[in-house]
Amino acid sequence: MIVELKPETERRVQEEIRSGRFHSAAEVIEEALEVLLQKSEPLPLARPPRKNLADFLLDSPFAGSGLDLDRVQDYGRPIDL
């Protein structure tokens, strides 16, 4: 296969080879194709919506952190009449 590259693209490929990251133009193209394929993969299905804040916190990085999600009823301050 013969591929014609624009001068700017060819310069960038040569820079990647000179940097030592790649050993050949073929490796640069293979890596570029792999990245392109990863970008075009469908996104994972979205999670179902959470019903409330407790569900959100239990399914978050805070899960298992010992947070007490029980609501403490606040009776307010005593008032002198």
The mean pLDDT value of the chain amounts to 83
Taking residues 41-67, what's their average pLDDT?
Answer: 73
Dihedral angle at the C-alpha atoms of 29, 35, 36, 40, nearest 10 degrees?
160
Taking residues 57-73, what's their average pLDDT?
Answer: 71
Whether the full predicted model's pTM is greater than 0.85, yes or no, is no
Domain boundaries, the chain: 7-40
Taking residues 27-56, what's their average pLDDT?
Answer: 82
Q: Around Cβ 28, how many Cβ atoms within 10 Å?
A: 19
The predicted pLDDT at position 69 comes to 67
Taking residues 7-12, what's their average pLDDT?
Answer: 95
The predicted pLDDT at position 62 comes to 65
